[in-house]
């Protein structure tokens, strides 16, 4: 799936802005066909944004079910002989979209784009209407998984409903990424796939172009950052050589552009798409992770798409700030915990040379209770797996060409100690490797090595550990020893590279105490230093990702005082004391 761009043959119209919005409090909109007409008694709502924190009304923030968005747009007459697509960057979590009352597309899953050909649904040279019904209910048939709990007891109003989630971030809802219209010619480039290799000092660029239409020739032209042409080719698949290639390297990115042109039998150019990409290789060998043949050590964070007021809505200002902070602190990577982030963020990572572990939205697959199984007929079952596989397909379709994406993560903290987790993740990993044999695959663990049943499937082991926080809370003295024995146990069972993808302590900015106690900035510093003592002993530890980059919103809970405060930066993206400690460490490694 290609990102919508403009070219001499393509136009893009961004429908971001203020839309009409209505909460479907009685769950009647579908039944009463609200899509047939303008929404009545709507309020104004920005797109993209989560709707939860924008109004002052708790019943909107906490709504479980459908909400409706609507706006009008104009389609110029000049688009009549083109193909017109509508593309939603993401809508959390499920959506149905109508154009002028005609259903155009439905989609499940809140973190990946979907699109539809609406050429036959719009009125050219006239005003049109787009209506989107967005649903935020999570159950066992989707990712992330969740369940609705309904209370029928004397302590609650009859039928009182709660959306139960098993993950630790606020269930922000709404249209989170831009809605765009884009045109292509009727004969067009549907997809491009690029994989790269290095041969001595040269780069090898393998490409596959999917074309819609017949009697068409495919021309390829590869240019460097100055715009100079470095290779040319023809045909819908093949490979191009770039002599003396400049590699895409962590911290030193270099992007080439592959221009794909379609020409008709008379030689006239029909469609043009320019794809930025980097030449680089990724490989796991022994207990090392190599980028371009050089061992790579992951320094960075687990993050969230999260900020004040706009929740999970795309915010380019915030994103650029985040990348500036990552560079300032000496980080080279992050994990898109716990879902695929916006394409705009991944584009930034390509441009800024930040390495990504791209994670599927499979989070909350653990009940933290050994007496109950989550991989079970009435919970994570064949329907969940179907959706997981679909999500993997969509994630790879979207992100396959990004040099910054060096590894896929199939899930965060699943109950991989359960028997049924093995066949489940075997299917997921098989699908992933079939679609993309070029990148290593990982899973992020909470279980310990002795109980894990799935890690033989993966190239890299990722573990999250909270010694001194959830275990022996407030005691930093044994962290080093606890971490040592943990790492050695994993390494003994699976001699593979290990990244510690989460370790962190809630820290309220401005709290200080000496000797340190939990929740102070002093504690966060002392806590992190103990982990580093352990990591630095083992060469199979190939990375440290602190939980978390910034403070973020969670559901309300006894251990969360207005959100999770494990950020090294505040939610407003200002440093806590630990940021200086990390900067000192990471600029040296
Ligand atoms: C880990 C989860 C992460 C949480 C973190 C925490 O992977 O999403 O936010 O714990 O408790 O288990 O802070």
3-state secondary structure 308-349: CCCECCCCHHHHHHHHHHHHHHCCCEEECCCCCCCHHHHHHH
The closest-lying atom of ligand 1 relative to the alpha carbon of residue 413 is 7
Instruction: From 357, 547, 571, give the residue whose CB has the most ligand 1 atoms within 8 Å, as the site to mutate.
Output: 547
The CA 551 to ligand 1 mean position distance, Å, reads 12
Say if residues 567 and 551 touch (Cβ distance below 8 Å).
yes
> Residues 70, 305, 394, 502: which is the catalytic one?
502
The CA 505 to ligand 1 mean position distance, Å, reads 10
Summary mean pLDDT of the chain: 97
Q: Is the peptide bond before 393 cis (omega within 30 degrees of 0)?
A: no
Q: Output the pLDDT for position 369.
A: 87
Closest protein CA for atom 11 of ligand 1? 168
Closest protein CA for atom 2 of ligand 1? 168
CA–CA separation, 377 and 282 (whole Å)? 38
Lining residues, ligand 1, CB within 6 Å: 167-168, 338, 412-413, 446, 464, 502, 547, 564, 566
What is the token pair recorded at 335? 């994990």
413 annotated active-site: yes
**End-to-end Cα spacing for the chain:** 37
CA–CA separation, 304 and 338 (whole Å)? 7
The closest-lying atom of ligand 1 relative to the alpha carbon of residue 167 is 8
The closest-lying atom of ligand 1 relative to the alpha carbon of residue 559 is 11
Closest protein CA for atom 9 of ligand 1? 168
The CA 135 to ligand 1 mean position distance, Å, reads 25
CA–CA separation, 391 and 143 (whole Å)? 8
pLDDT per residue as tens digits for the range 48-73: 999 999 999 999 999 999 999 999 99
The CA 154 to ligand 1 mean position distance, Å, reads 34
The CA 168 to ligand 1 mean position distance, Å, reads 6
Q: Is 90 exceeded by the pLDDT of residue 431? A: yes
CA–CA separation, 24 and 22 (whole Å)? 6
Residues 6+ apart with CB under 8 A from 477: none
The pLDDT of 375-394, averaged and rounded, is 97
Q: Is 90 exceeded by the pLDDT of residue 368? A: no
DSSP line for 503-547: ----B-TT---SS--TBSHHHHHHHHHHHHHHHTT-TTEEEEEEE
The pLDDT of 471-493, averaged and rounded, is 98
Q: pLDDT confidence of 337, banded at 50, 70, 90?
A: very high
Instruction: From 166, 168, 366, give the residue whose CB has the most ligand 1 atoms within 8 Å, as the site to mutate.
Output: 168
Q: Output the pLDDT for position 575.
A: 98
Q: Output the pLDDT for position 491.
A: 98
> Residues 115, 413, 486, 521: which is the catalytic one?
413
27 CA to centre of own chain: 30
502 annotated active-site: yes
Residues 6+ apart with CB under 8 A from 111: 90, 92, 339, 340, 341, 361
Going from the C-alpha of 258 to that of each of 239, 329, 520, the distances in angstroms are 12, 33, 50
Say if residues 180 and 15 touch (Cβ distance below 8 Å).
yes
Q: pLDDT confidence of 391, banded at 50, 70, 90?
A: very high
What is the token pair recorded at 512? 């200080």
Closest protein CA for atom 6 of ligand 1? 168
The CA 281 to ligand 1 mean position distance, Å, reads 31
CA–CA separation, 413 and 445 (whole Å)? 5
The CA 564 to ligand 1 mean position distance, Å, reads 9
The pLDDT of 295-318, averaged and rounded, is 98
What is the token pair recorded at 351? 């441009």
The pLDDT of 563-567, averaged and rounded, is 98
pLDDT per residue as tens digits for the range 483-530: 999 999 999 999 999 999 999 999 999 999 999 999 999 999 999 999
What is the token pair recorded at 260? 């794909």
């Amino acid at each position: 799936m290609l990102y919508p761009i403009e070219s001499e043959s393509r136009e893009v119209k961004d429908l971001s802005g203020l839309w009409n919005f209505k909460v479907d409090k009685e769950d009647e909109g579908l039944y009463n066909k609200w899509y047939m007409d303008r929404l009545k008694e709507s309020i104004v709502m920005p797109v993209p944004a989560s709707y939860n924190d924008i109004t002052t009304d708790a019943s909107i923030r906490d709504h479980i079910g459908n909400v409706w968005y609507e706006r009008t747009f104009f389609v110029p007459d000049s688009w009549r002989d083109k193909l017109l697509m509508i593309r939603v960057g993401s809508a959390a979590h499920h959506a149905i979209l109508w154009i002028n009352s005609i259903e155009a597309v439905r989609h499940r899953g809140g973190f990946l784009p979907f699109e539809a050909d609406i050429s036959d649904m719009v009125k050219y040279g006239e005003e049109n209407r787009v209506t989107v019904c967005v649903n935020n209910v999570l159950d066992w048939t989707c990712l992330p998984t969740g369940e609705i709990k309904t209370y029928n007891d004397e302590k609650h109003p009859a039928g009182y409903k709660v959306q139960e989630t098993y993950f630790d971030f606020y269930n922000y809802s709404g249209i989170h990424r831009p809605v765009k219209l884009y045109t292509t010619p009727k004969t067009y480039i549907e997809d491009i796939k690029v994989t790269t290799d290095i041969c001595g000092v040269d780069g090898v660029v393998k490409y596959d172009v999917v074309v819609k239409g017949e009697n068409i020739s495919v021309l390829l032209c590869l240019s460097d950052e100055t715009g100079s042409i470095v290779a040319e080719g023809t045909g819908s698949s093949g490979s191009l050589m770039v002599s003396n290639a400049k590699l895409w390297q962590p911290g030193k990115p270099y992007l080439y552009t592959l221009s794909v042109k379609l020409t008709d039998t008379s030689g006239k150019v029909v469609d043009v798409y320019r794809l930025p990409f980097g030449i680089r290789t990724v490989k796991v060998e022994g207990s090392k992770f190599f980028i371009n043949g050089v061992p790579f050590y992951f320094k960075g964070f687990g993050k969230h798409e999260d900020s004040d007021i706009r929740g999970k809505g795309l915010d380019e200002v915030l994103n650029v700030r985040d990348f500036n902070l990552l560079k300032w602190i000496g980080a080279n990577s992050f994990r898109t915990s716990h879902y695929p982030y916006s394409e705009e963020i991944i584009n930034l990572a390509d441009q800024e040379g930040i390495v990504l572990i791209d994670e599927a939205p499979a989070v909350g697959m653990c009940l933290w209770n050994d007496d109950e199984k989550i991989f079970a007929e009435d919970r994570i079952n064949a329907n969940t797996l179907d959706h997981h596989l679909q999500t993997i397909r969509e994630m790879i379709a979207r992100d396959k060409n990004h040099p910054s994406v060096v590894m896929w993560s199939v899930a965060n903290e699943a109950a991989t100690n359960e028997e049924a987790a093995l066949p489940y993740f075997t299917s997921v990993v098989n699908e992933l490797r079939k679609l993309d044999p070029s990148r290593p695959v990982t899973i992020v663990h909470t279980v310990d090595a002795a109980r894990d049943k799935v890690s033989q499937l993966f190239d890299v082991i990722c573990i999250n550990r909270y010694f001194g926080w959830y275990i022996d809370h407030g005691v930093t003295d044994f962290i080093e020893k606890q971490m040592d024995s943990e790492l050695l146990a994993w390494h003994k069972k699976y001699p593979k590279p290990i990244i510690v993808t989460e370790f962190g302590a809630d820290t309220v900015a401005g709290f200080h105490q000496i000797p340190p106690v939990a929740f102070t900035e002093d504690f966060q510093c002392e806590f992190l230093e103990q982990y580093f003592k352990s990591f630095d002993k083992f060469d199979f530890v190939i990375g440290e990702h602190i939980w978390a980059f910034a403070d973020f919103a969670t559901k309300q809970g006894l251990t969360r005082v207005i959100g999770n405060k494990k950020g090294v930066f505040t939610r407003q993206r200002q440093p806590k004391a630990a940021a200086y400690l990390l900067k000192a460490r990471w600029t040296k490694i």
